[in-house]
Amino acid sequence: ASSSTTTVVTSIELTSLPKLARGKVRDLYQIDEHTLLFVTTDRISAYDVIMGNGVPLKGAILTQISAHWFRVLTERIPGLKTHFLTLSPPAALLTPAEQALVRARSMQVRKLKVFPLEAIVRGYITGSAWTEYQKTGTVHGLPQPAGLQQCSPFPQPIYTPSTKAELGSHDENISPAKAAEIVGERYASRIEALALQVYTAGAAYARERGIIIADTKFEFGLDEETDDIVLIDEVLTPDSSRFWPADQYEVGRDQDSFDKQYLRNWLTAEGLKYKEGVEMPAHIAEATSDRYKDAFKLLTGNTIEEALAAL
Ligand code: ATP
Ligand code: MG
Q: 61 alpha carbon to ligand 2 midpoint, in Å? A: 15
1: confidence class by pLDDT, cuts 50, 70, 90:
very low
Angle 55-59-65 (CA atoms, 0-180°, nearest 5)?
A: 120
Q: What is the pLDDT of residue 170?
A: 75
The dihedral over CA atoms of 195, 211, 163, 71, expressed in degrees to the nearest 10, equals -50
Q: Give the ligand whose atoms come closest to the C-alpha of residue 38.
A: 1
The sign of the CA dihedral 231, 237, 238, 244 is positive
CA 222 to chain centre: 19
Report, as an integer, the average pLDDT of 231-259. Answer: 95
Give the number of other Cβ atoms within 10 Å of residue 21's Cβ.
11
Query: What ipTM was assigned to the predicted interfaces of this complex?
Result: 0.95
Whether 235 lines ligand 1, by a CB cut-off of 6 Å, is: no
Q: How confident is the model over 212-226, as pLDDT tens digits? A: 999 999 999 999 999
Q: Which of 109, 114, 171, 237 to mutate to test the pocket of ligand 1 (most atoms within 8 A of CB)?
A: 114
Q: Give the ligand whose atoms come closest to the C-alpha of residue 28.
A: 1
Whether 166 lines ligand 1, by a CB cut-off of 6 Å, is: no
Q: 233 alpha carbon to ligand 1 midpoint, in Å? A: 6
Q: Give bridge partners of residue 241 from the DSSP assignment.
A: 216
Which atom of ligand 1 is the closest one to the Cα of 110? 27
Q: Which of 170, 219, 236, 237 to mutate to test the pocket of ligand 1 (most atoms within 8 A of CB)?
A: 219
CA-nearest residue, atom 31 of ligand 1: 233
Give percent of the chain above pLDDT 90: 88
Q: 148 alpha carbon to ligand 1 midpoint, in Å? A: 33
Q: Which of 166, 233, 239 to mutate to test the pocket of ligand 1 (most atoms within 8 A of CB)?
A: 233
Whether 1 and 308 have beta carbons less than 8 Å apart is answered as yes
Q: What is the pLDDT of residue 2?
A: 47
CA-nearest residue, atom 9 of ligand 1: 23
Which of 51-55, 173-177, 183-187, 243-247 comes out lowest in average pLDDT? 173-177
Q: Give the ligand whose atoms come closest to the C-alpha of residue 25.
A: 1
39: confidence class by pLDDT, cuts 50, 70, 90:
very high
Q: Give the ligand whose atoms come closest to the C-alpha of residue 219.
A: 1
Nearest one of 233, 213, 229, 218 to 118, comparing CA atoms: 218
0.90 cut: is pTM over it? yes
Q: Give bridge partners of residue 118 from the DSSP assignment.
A: 162
| Secondary structure of the chain in HEC code, one letter for each residue | CCHHHHCCCCCCCCCCCCEEEECCCEEEEEEECCEEEEEECCCCEECCEECCCCCCCHHHHHHHHHHHHHHHHHHHCCCCCECEEECCCCHHHCCHHHHHHHCCCEEEEECCEECCEEEEEEEECCHHHHHHHHHHCEECCEECCCCCCCCCEEEEEEECCEECCCCCCCCCECCHHHHHHHHCHHHHHHHHHHHHHHHHHHHHHHHCCCEEEEEEEEEEEEECCCCEEEEECCCCCCCCEEEEEHHHCCCCCCCCCCCCHHHHHHHHHHCCCCCCCCCCCHHHHHHHHHHHHHHHHHHHCCCHHHHHHCC
Q: What is the pLDDT of residue 5?
A: 55
CA-nearest residue, atom 3 of ligand 1: 24
Whether 42 lines ligand 1, by a CB cut-off of 6 Å, is: no
d(CA 28, CA 43): 14
CA atoms within 13 A on the CB side of 209: 16
Whether 117 lines ligand 1, by a CB cut-off of 6 Å, is: no
Whether 27 lines ligand 1, by a CB cut-off of 6 Å, is: no
